[in-house]
Amino acid sequence: MDLSKHAFFEGKIVPLSDAKINIATHGFLYGTAVFSGMRAYWNEEKKRLFVFRPFDHYHRLLNSARMMSMEVPYDEESLIQLTLDVLKADDWKQDVYLRPTIYKSDMGIGVRLHDLKDEFSLFVMAFEKYVKNDSNAHLTFSSWRRIDDNAIPARGKVAGAYANSALIKTDANRAGFDEAIVLDQNGHVSEGSAMNIFMVRDGVLITPPITDNILEGITRRSIIELARSELGLEVVERSIDRTEVFIAEEMFMTGTAAQVVAVTKIDHRPVGTGSMGPITAKLREVFDNIVHAKNPKYKQWNLEVG
């Protein structure tokens, strides 16, 4: 794995090799950490790196922290500034993935959220594809259920909750599938292990609402907006039943790491024609252009690393 040479740790930029936490740290012992996954894309023509929607990522990170009773002395703007500093400390000329984390940093035993200190950390890594078959993914229904918002905040990114995602992903991969669709406690489609889900029925784009235990995905939000404004599609946020996915015309998953993954088979049944549909293909193209800062109409989503 090609990791950054520098990181932000305990209030300053340090060599990544010095950004170490003790094994007695609360966030490590209990999963009391929240994080985000952001990307910065390399624009070959402009010879510049552009961070995609950093304000939205940091806004969600601070909301996740709020749900977990965490406090850090940063707002979205100061987090963006230190992110630019970390990116500039290394000389990236390729697409990268950024992992900001806020964690309970005290050492010792005692499961709780209160009376504990919090720290912010950030490192960067080179990143290409997250799902290998991203133009023809084969999914299964996971036998695991998505964490319920009444157990762990599902709309935010809480590190401990990713034990659920890890179980989902490993069982799907070991059974020979690329990813899994996860149902919530009510039996509705929620999302994948680290991706939101969309399907097309009768030309309408449908995705589960944020009240169906999904992560409030930033790619999801971007795709909803682009489907409406660039493709003129009707987009509906509503619960999706299990069997609806078998009769969908198209299906895809979205995420910062995954980007837009075309789903062409579910439990050995073809989705639509069994190959990537036209709406999925168009959205992938539009999205890829925008994240690489090639569409000036959406330049407010691209933060240039000067």
**Catalytic residue set:** 157
Measured from the CB atom, is 6 or 169 closer to ligand PMP?
169
Candidates 89, 173, 88; CA nearest to 139 is 173
We find the least distance from the C-beta atom of residue 212 to ligand PMP, in angstroms, to be 12
Site membership for ligand PMP, residue 255 (CB under 6 A): yes
Ranges within 196-235 binding ligand PMP (CB under 6 A): 196, 215, 217-220
H/E element, 82 = helix 76-89
Q: How far apart are CA 18 and CA 39, in angstroms?
A: 23
Measured from the CB atom, is 116 or 217 closer to ligand PMP?
217
Q: How far apart are CA 62 and CA 66, in angstroms?
A: 6
Candidates 17, 15, 51; CA nearest to 36 is 51
CA atoms in the 13 A half-sphere facing the CB of 245: 30
Ranges within 28-67 binding ligand PMP (CB under 6 A): 37
Site membership for ligand PMP, residue 165 (CB under 6 A): yes
Q: Which stretch binds ligand PMP (CB under 6 A): 12-20, 115-123, 171-179, 250-258?
A: 250-258
Site membership for ligand PMP, residue 140 (CB under 6 A): no
- Write out the two tokens for 28: 């490590």
Site membership for ligand PMP, residue 195 (CB under 6 A): yes
Site membership for ligand PMP, residue 286 (CB under 6 A): no
Are 188 and 214 a contacting pair, CB within 8 Å?
Answer: no
Measured from the CB atom, is 116 or 205 closer to ligand PMP?
205
